[in-house]
Chain A
Amino acid sequence: MTQTRYYPTRSPEPEKEKTGGGGGGGGGTAMRVIVPLQGVVQGRGGLVLGSIIPCALFYFLQFYLKRNRDDPDDQNESSSPPQNPTTPSPSSEQLTELPALTRSLSRPLLSPRNPSGPIPISGRVSGIVKGAESPYYIGLRRIKEDPYDELDNPNGVIQLGLAENKLSLDLVKDWLAEHANEAILGNGKELSICGIATYQPFDGLMELKVAVAGFMSQVIEKAVTFNPSQIVLTAGATPAIEILSFCLADTGNAFLVPTPCYPGFDRDLKWRTGVEIIHVPCRSADNFNLSITALDISFNQAKKRGLKVRGIIISNPSNPVGNILSRETLYSLLDFAREKNIHIVSNEIFAGSTHGNEEFVSMAEIIEPEDIDRKRVHIVYGLSEDLCLPGFRVGVIYSLNEDVLAAAKKLTRFSAISAPTQRLLISMLSDSRFVQTFIRANRERLQRMYVQFVAGLEKMGIKSIRSGGGFYCWADMSGLISSYSERGEVELWDRLLNIGKVNVTPGSCCHCIEPGWFRFCVAILTEKDIPVVMDRIQKVLKPAN
């Protein structure tokens, strides 16, 4: 079986023929089996390929193994000598007397040796602790130290980097002022402490699921119904995404994420799950719209690197750009996912914050209940953005895959919503008059802010991509950066933060492939703030112009 063929040439063409159709799509990846020692046996050349290479590899492999094995030994060995004298041999009956003995023994033994250094923490979080901070988080911290306030701190930093909607906070406030008490404790008459103090289902109360399902349909403004039994509630959309990541992929697997994307994905998807993210670059020439071709290329490249791709994660409406995926694109995505047999996670957290005339199509609308593909589609939602309640920490997983639902339900033990908050939300979301008014008013205000902000930027000659949803304005400031690179971009960001005192998110945090793009969160401002922001930006730009 071994003495088949040996090709002295390395050109890819004959290789392809030889491996009989196994030729890889990327071209040139077909593998040729090098028969060891064949050079020696058959007497023609190939000594290097047949013997020296494998032998050298084997040699290094041993080195590698040796090195990796030493490590734990060293650490544990250093502490092992003192424990031998104390190893207990007597029968378990007498063991109770031993602790005193071990103690007296171990103490003197310890003192001559140096303490074994600081105690290590786990490898997986040491990166989290040390990791260099991205501008995104530096900016957020600066805000915390010196927040702008029209009256109290007019020279503070203006926050345009956090995804928060303060436009309709007053509506929520009014509602809470009126209803908070009875919402938590029942109708005032019959108070049910058992309903909030005792253990509740970790994946959320059924009443709240029903209310959330209703809210989601209302927000989408279409005849899409969400089945409450397919909802799992979590303490925020962040854990919802992480739980899905735990459910869909194993350590070392990968997800495709079109860029520019939400900067938090790097934490949510990867930190604890050990999953990798493969960025699929979208470009300004296409208005940062996703193309299936780019997906396909990234998918193949990942495969070539030996990564198993388990799914695509899209944001719709997209964060930061604000694009809304067309029905056609969603169908193509589904085709692509089917062809590759992978999952689709659709983050629709801005579904209720659409403000253009474009139609928003939820993945839930595309997928029919009997569709075999329903098992690969998962939707993430939350109340942080659409209901202005990030402090409440309410996230939603909506999935049609029973296994994923069952697993996610069990994982909510690590991330459940507090019962008083659930009660509060049940009454808030069931108050349909409030919900209707809120959604309408919120959209209007968002639209108004967005238009004003974009107009302000345009006056300074800064163009932005037309957004159909979300809180952001995705602006092209590439003409204003000192060098067309990430460095130039971060420099401008730094000047905006420290001179202009506005905190924005540079495109590099969103893994945008083109430098010079910035994300401005407009929903966090009041109308009065806009001229201030524009002035400050203008101030920064002047020297560059």
Chain B
Amino acid sequence: MRLVVPLQGVVQGRGGLIFGSLIPCALFYFLQLYLKRHRSPNSQSNPPSPSASTQNLAEMSRTSSRSNLLSRGSIGPVRISSLATSICKPNESPYYIGLDKASEDPYDRIGNPDGVIQLGLSENRLCFDLIEKWMLENLNDSIRGREGGDLSISGIASYQPLDGTMELKMAMAGFLSRIMGGAVSFEPSQIVLTAGATPAIETLCFCLADHGNAFLVPTPYYPGFDRDMRWRTGVELIPVHCRSTDNFVLSISALDQAFNQTRKHGTKIRGILLSNPANPVGNLLSREMLCDLLDFAREKNIHIISDEIFAGSIYGNEEFVSIADVVDSEDFDKSRVHIVYGLSKDLSLPGFRVGMIYSFNENVLAAARKLTRFSSISAPTQRLLVSMLSDTRFIEEYMVTNKKRIRNMRDLFVAGLEGLGIRCADSSAGLYCWADMSKLIPSYGEKGELELWDKLLNVAKINMTPGSACHCIEPGWFRCCFTTLDKEDIPVVMERIRKVADTRTSRS
């Protein structure tokens, strides 16, 4: 940037009069006009300016304001913030429209056989029987305290540390290393607990990025990120596209390209947001890839948020590698690594709203701890979870059964889809099938995809998440959550999809 010295034209006598004098003067003039304009409404609203002494003013200003109001016309409606204005409208994304529709008219084999089958909500209902059994046996003791007799009420009624009780942090740390096969140990003091993984992600976003900064996010990604990361923080998400030819595996070169392009637009990138295991695809990041990502992050001096909420829902033979494991075993800069976890998926307890941040960065932890005042977990729930997670026999049994059941459901579901000629991406974790239905879409584009989604929802009465809601660059992919189903439901789902598929083929 070249500095234009004002008045230099005049002083030095050579040219530059316009640059040096006229332009700044003109700008100044317009600035004044602008200021003047913006101030005048203010001054009009102030006629009853108070000048009398403070003692007897209360009544004075009141009467004067009343009469003033009568003489003036009524004012427009009171303004709300631009955030509220933009989000108070009804949902427009198919993801949320589908969810709403399915919750209005939910399918039930006996009660409502014509209802909408929910494949859009990521919930695991396969192991409720185990949790129910545990609760029946232990609920009493866990909330009241072990002794049963003397209820230590102040432990749940009074203020607790807003970032979670130490007991629960320790239980969570133990639970996490257990589901990761004991490969990693987690330090309870590096844990911050929040009311769900959603606020965990938002809190991290507040801590790592300022308004207008950006995060790189490999696509297809979880549709909720658009709300969690952006709404209140004002941060942007830059999609980094992954393709079906690579089975939607992330590539560093794509990251690099996206990084450079964004930089060119003048946006500062503060980090990468990963899902590992990936939502919706269900593949895992390899150790090698994690190393590359850490290198990339160091090179660009950015953070990595790794959302590992499905870490315990692995059903394939592939080994899950947490980024915590990688930074432990090799010499990486830990302070840029932050992990998000929650009990909504692996322990099937989304209603409990328990999420956590695991970070190696002291400053981030300190800030996040303070921000939990806006999102802390209810004390009775913490109590309950401390005993549940410490019951190793239960947890062990639960993990084994849960994996087996997810795997069975997945095999059945994928086989069913294959019977219809629909292929799914290879996956080894999570609660979803990522299905390629591009053969069924009327036109190869987002419009075609949404038409199919609409038909599935309104004609076949199945709510799936279209790939476009996950920012998938290739049209025709759909995310189906199969863990909300019973085995008996699968033929019904397949039959309904077949109907839609048939109308398509018979027409063409």
Contacts and interface: CB of A to CB of B under 8 A. Distances in A.
Nearest to B364: A121
Contacts of A34: 28-29, 32
Contacts of A193: 128, 131-132, 135
A335 B364 contact: no
A interface, by DSSP: helix, strand, loop or mixed? helix
B78 A343 contact: yes
A438 interface: no
A198 B125 contact: yes
B256 A83 contact: yes
Given A54-B27, A59-B5, A406-B88, A126 B21 contact: no
Chain B CB within 10 Å, residue with most, of A21, A75, A92 = A92
Interface residues of B, number: 147
B503 interface: no
B160 interface: yes
A466 B290 CA distance: 64
B251 A23 contact: no
Contacts of A100: 288, 292
Interface stretch (B59-67, B173-181, B448-456): B59-67
B291 interface: yes
B232 A25 contact: no
B251 A95 contact: yes
B25 A166 contact: no
Interface in A384-403: 388-394, 401-403
B22 A96 contact: no
Interface string B154-166: 1111111000000
Q: Determine chain B's interface SS by DSSP, over half rule.
A: helix
A173 B143 CA distance: 12
A432 interface: no
A53 B28 contact: yes
A239 interface: yes
B77 A338 contact: no
Contacts of B190: none
Interface string A410-443: 1101111111110010000000000000000000
Contacts of A75: 301
Interface stretch (B201-209, B409-417, B435-443): B201-209
Nearest to A116: B301
B101 to A, nearest CB: 15
Interface stretch (A240-248, A358-366, A498-506): A240-248
A407 B83 contact: yes
Nearest to B254: A95
B207 A393 contact: no
Contact of A339 (B1, B69, B140, B289): B69
B42 interface: yes
A513 to B, nearest CB: 13
A391 B84 contact: no
B58 A342 contact: no
A21 B44 CA distance: 8
B49 A300 contact: yes
B7 A235 contact: no
A180 B143 contact: yes
A475 to B, nearest CB: 23
Most buried by A among B3, B33, B43, B291: B43
B361 interface: yes
B110 interface: no
Given A36-B28, A198-B125, A296-B50, A332 B58 contact: yes
A343 B80 CA distance: 9
A51 interface: yes
A99 B294 CA distance: 12
Nearest to A240: B374
A134 interface: no
B108 to A, nearest CB: 12
A214 interface: no
Interface in A285-327: 291-294, 296-297, 300, 303, 310
Interface residues of A, number: 154
Nearest to A303: B42
B258 to A, nearest CB: 11
B232 A403 contact: no
Contact of A180 (B39, B125, B144, B256): B144
Interface stretch (A62-70, A150-158, A348-356, A484-492): A62-70
B355 to A, nearest CB: 10
Given A235-B195, A376-B78, A391-B157, A420 B352 contact: yes
B471 interface: no
Interface in B295-340: 295-296, 298-303, 333, 335-336
Interface in B39-97: 39-40, 42-47, 49-50, 54, 57-58, 60-62, 65-66, 68-69, 74-85, 87-89
B183 interface: no
A229 interface: no
A293 B157 contact: no
A36 B29 CA distance: 6
A86 B292 CA distance: 13
Contacts of A170: 153
Contact of B83 (A88, A194, A250, A421): A250
B287 interface: no
A121 B363 contact: yes
B29 A2 contact: yes
A88 B371 contact: no
A55 B6 contact: yes
Given A239-B374, A403-B85, A420-B381, A125 B206 contact: yes
Given A126-B367, A404-B80, 8 more contacts: A29-B39, A98-B253, A124-B206, A129-B363, A176-B156, A246-B83, A343-B78, A417-B353
11 contacts: A51-B21, A54-B25, A99-B253, A119-B302, A125-B207, A180-B380, A197-B348, A247-B81, A250-B83, A294-B54, A414-B228
Which 7 pairs of residues, A with B, have the shortest CB-CB distance? A25-B46, A55-B6, A36-B25, A58-B24, A54-B28, A419-B351, A391-B379
